[in-house]
Amino acid sequence: MTLADPHRAHTALVRALDERGLLPPPWREIWERTPRHRFIPGRIWKQGAKRCEPVTTDADWWRLVASDQPVVTQVDDGQEGGPGIATSSNSMPSMVARMLELLEVQDGVSVLEIGTATGHVAALLSARLGDRHVTSIEIDPTLAAVAEKNLAALGFAPTLVVADGEQGYPAGGPWDRLIATCALRHVPYALVEQVAAGGIIVAPLIREFLSGALVQLTVHSDGTARGRFRGSASYMPMRSHRAAGRPPVDTSTPRSRWATLDPSTVLTLPFALYAGARLPGVSLIQGEADGAVRVWLQDGKGSAAVADAEAVTEFGQRDLWSEVERIHHDFAELGDVVVSDFGLTVSPHGQHLWLGAPAEVISPDHEPVRR
């Protein structure tokens, strides 16, 4: 791929998305005239195993930009000399297309986007709805300025706001649609309040227990938002939703035993959603040791566990891996459960996951009923 054929590269990307059924009318035409590469800076990175790796050649730049892969456009909040952690990106095109489909936009609806980044999603929405119906918030003023320039170069002028997206933009509401292009640890109720009854929220959620999941919520006249999970989604967290540091683990009482549950069996999104609701505050991180799956659990109160296919070591007051084993048994009792069986309710009083129907809340002491 060379700098001489950007049109061919973009056309091939759009064709690939369309062949996967991700661009129903009128989205294909909109993607065709809103090229991705016009929103990608010259300096980009790709995600490596431990840190982001700079893309240093024109050929590699085009190969990444023309692929269905995320492109990291900022590391370390724009500060030089950091550890190379991704802090902004142009998302995987297929995920963007999926989220826009779930947003169910129609002519005349207003949309608030949380996380402008370099402006690509705002451009797609502006091309579909018109500038006056699109508002986008970005916390980073440098990124917001880049987005404004990119959008103007293609003739778009949506409302751009520099602010913390966690609070939304009440001055412009109520909104008919809200889309977050950064991951939320929870759905701030301030966002629900700013969406009109009947409106839709689409957002990726980053869960402590392993998973990143996409949720589609409908706002109701009683002030609640309810909806189902629609698949996996891996996004960088909103700045105010980044993980806080955890206290040290109590390593004074290690307890080791042979494993009875292969940790690879817990690394599915349905189980992660279920176990995360059963074990609030417990984090699970996936890794590997000697080429085999290993997981780390921590409750933030001193207890932890490390498990692989052969052995388990637990620390602190709780036997965390034993709790996971019991919950995995309960999960198996539910029968065949898929991601879309799970849902989320957000209200002024908090938010909770449910299974099957909103009344079937998953609590820490949830009793499984075979579906």
Residue 207 and residue 277: Cα distance in Å, rounded? 10
pLDDT at 302 over 90: yes
Please check whether residues 354 and 370 belong to one and the same domain: yes
- What is the residue range of 255's domain? 244-371
> Between these two residues, 122 and 250, which has the higher pLDDT value?
122
For 152-202, what is each residue's pLDDT tens digit? 999 999 999 999 999 999 999 899 999 999 999 999 999 999 999 999 999
Please check whether residues 120 and 78 belong to one and the same domain: yes
How high does pLDDT run on average in the chain? Answer: 93
Residue 365 and residue 356: Cα distance in Å, rounded? 17
Q: What is the model's pLDDT at position 123?
A: 98
CA 46, 48, 53, 59 torsion-angle sign: negative
Edge-to-edge strands of the sheet including 71-75?
52-54, 45-47, 71-75, 86-90
Spatial contact of 218 and 241, defined as CB atoms under 8 Å apart: no
Residues contacting residue 302 through CB under 8 Å, at least 6 positions apart = 247, 248, 249, 250, 315, 316, 317
Q: What is the model's pLDDT at position 371?
A: 67
For 55-82, what is each residue's pLDDT tens digit? 999 999 999 999 999 999 999 999 998 9
Supply the pTM of this predicted model. Answer: 0.94
Q: What is the model's pLDDT at position 1?
A: 39
Final residue in a domain of this structure, among 213, 240, 267:
240
DSSP state of 80: T
* Domain count for the chain: 2
Annotated active-site positions, please? 91
pLDDT at 2 over 80: no
pLDDT at 218 over 90: yes
- Whether residue 130 is contained in a domain is answered as yes
pLDDT at 350 over 50: yes
DSSP state of 129: H
- Whether residue 1 is contained in a domain is answered as no
Please check whether residues 26 and 104 belong to one and the same domain: yes
For 256-292, what is each residue's pLDDT tens digit? 999 999 999 999 999 999 999 999 999 999 888 888 8
- Write out the DSSP string of 308-368: ESSEEEEESSS-HHHHHHHHHHHHHHT-S--GGGEEEEEETTEEEEEESSTTSB--TTPPP
Please check whether residues 204 and 249 belong to one and the same domain: no
Residue 326 and residue 289: Cα distance in Å, rounded? 24
Please check whether residues 59 and 102 belong to one and the same domain: yes
Please check whether residues 134 and 169 belong to one and the same domain: yes
